[in-house]
């Protein structure tokens, strides 16, 4: 199987190599809606999992979050990416169903805390909120960076595709999670909402969680505007609904939307996004 790159991982690596060296240690974040295995999809998960694992390995994120990841998909990626540990619960009952799992470099990070909230009025128990079509989760890890000693409060989520009220409520729930001690906060996911939406404003405004969109703050912004491709390789001009948010005090040196393909087909129905974040 041959893998081609468009505005993808190879070009990303070249751009990252060409960038000036910054003073602080950098954490590379990646957010990826990997798409559940649906019989009508072309390609199916069995065809996509190897190119996806190779794409992730080549990009070499320090931390990456997946959305819409079935238990089998998490296991497949874990088997193919042995340098990462991971955490994430199934959205249906804590065991079964899609996950918003977080993977992190075993060599670089020490896990201090791991928790899951459901986007609902009962965050500690499986359930769904308001007009949501499905249960939705927030996966949270507190990591200690062995390189710098800094604490990272990392959150990964997938907002509902139907529920307008549910998306706003989930954003407010993210906002309400207390910051862990002196940790820097990083939030990633498929938010099913664009930059002009209320959930986006909740996460990025000073009145809300007061984070910044890593793309807007990046010194280098590479790749197309759209992140959802609907398995159409040329669909790059859609709305950006996948985002990475970080503390405003952090410097984002590079951001990219990766459009890698194999055999003329995209790897998922979302393009993954990547951000290099410089720790103070």
Residue 220 neighbours by CB under 8 Å, 6+ apart: 15, 19, 253, 254, 255
Total tally of structural domains belonging to the chain? 1
pLDDT score, position 108: 98
Phi, psi angle pair for 158, to nearest 5°: -140, 105
Tokens of 51: 């190119």
Q: Is the pLDDT of residue 32 over 60?
A: yes
Q: Tell me the mean pLDDT in the region 148-164.
A: 98
pLDDT for the residue 183? 97
pLDDT for 19 equals 46
Helix (H) or strand (E) holding 45: helix 45-59
Report the pLDDT value the prediction gives residue 13, as an integer from 0 to 100: 53
Kindly tell me if the per-residue pLDDT of 128 is higher than 50.
yes
| pTM for this entry | 0.92
Cβ proximity of 101 and 76 under 8 Å: no
Q: How high is the pLDDT of residue 159? A: 98
pLDDT of residue 190: 98
Residue 6 above 90 pLDDT? no
pLDDT band at 114, cuts 50/70/90? very high
**Structure confidence at residue 188 (pLDDT):** 98
pLDDT band at 208 (very low <50, low <70, confident <90, very high): confident
CATH number for the domain that contains residue 198: 3.60.10.10
Percent of the chain with pLDDT over 70: 92
Q: Which domain holds residue 258?
A: 3-19+26-278
Pick left, alpha or beta for residue 174 (phi over 0 → left; psi -120 to 50 → alpha; otherwise beta). Answer: alpha
Q: Which of 203, 208, 154 is nearest to 183 (CA)?
A: 154
Task: Please report which confidence band the pLDDT of residue 18 belongs to, taking 50, 70 and 90 as the band edges.
Answer: very low
Averaged pLDDT of the chain? 93
What is the tens place of the pLDDT at every residue in 226-239? 999 999 999 998 88
- pLDDT above 90: residue 85: yes
Tell me what pLDDT residue 206 has.
82
């Amino acid at each position: 199987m041959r893998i081609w790159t468009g505005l993808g991982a190879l070009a990303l690596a070249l751009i990252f190599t060409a960038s000036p060296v910054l003073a602080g240690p950098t954490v590379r974040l990646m957010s990826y809606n990997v798409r559940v295995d649906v019989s009508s999809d072309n390609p199916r998960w069995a065809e996509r999992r190897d190119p996806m694992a190779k794409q992730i390995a080549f990009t070499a994120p320090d931390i990456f979050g997946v959305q819409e990841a079935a238990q089998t998909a998490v296991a497949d990626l874990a088997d193919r990416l042995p340098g990462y540990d991971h955490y994430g619960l199934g959205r249906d009952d804590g065991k079964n169903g899609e996950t918003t799992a977080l993977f992190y470099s075993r060599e670089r990070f020490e896990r201090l805390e791991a928790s899951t909230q459901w986007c609902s009025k009962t965050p500690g128990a499986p359930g769904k909120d308001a007009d949501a079509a499905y249960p939705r989760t927030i996966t949270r890890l507190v990591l200690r960076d062995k390189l710098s000693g800094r604490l990272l409060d990392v959150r990964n989520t997938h907002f509902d595709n139907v529920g307008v009220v549910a998306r706003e409520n989930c954003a407010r729930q993210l906002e309400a999670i207390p910051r862990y001690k002196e940790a820097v906060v990083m939030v990633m996911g498929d938010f099913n909402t664009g930059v002009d939406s209320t959930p986006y404003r909740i996460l990025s405004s000073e009145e809300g969680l007061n984070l910044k969109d890593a793309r807007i703050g990046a010194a280098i912004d590479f790749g197309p505007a759209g992140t959802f491709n609907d398995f159409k390789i040329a669909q790059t001009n859609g709305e950006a609904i996948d985002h990475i948010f970080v503390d405003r005090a952090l410097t984002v040196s590079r951001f990219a939307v990766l459009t890698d393909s194999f055999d003329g087909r995209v790897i998922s129905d979302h393009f993954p996004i990547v951000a290099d974040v410089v720790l103070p």
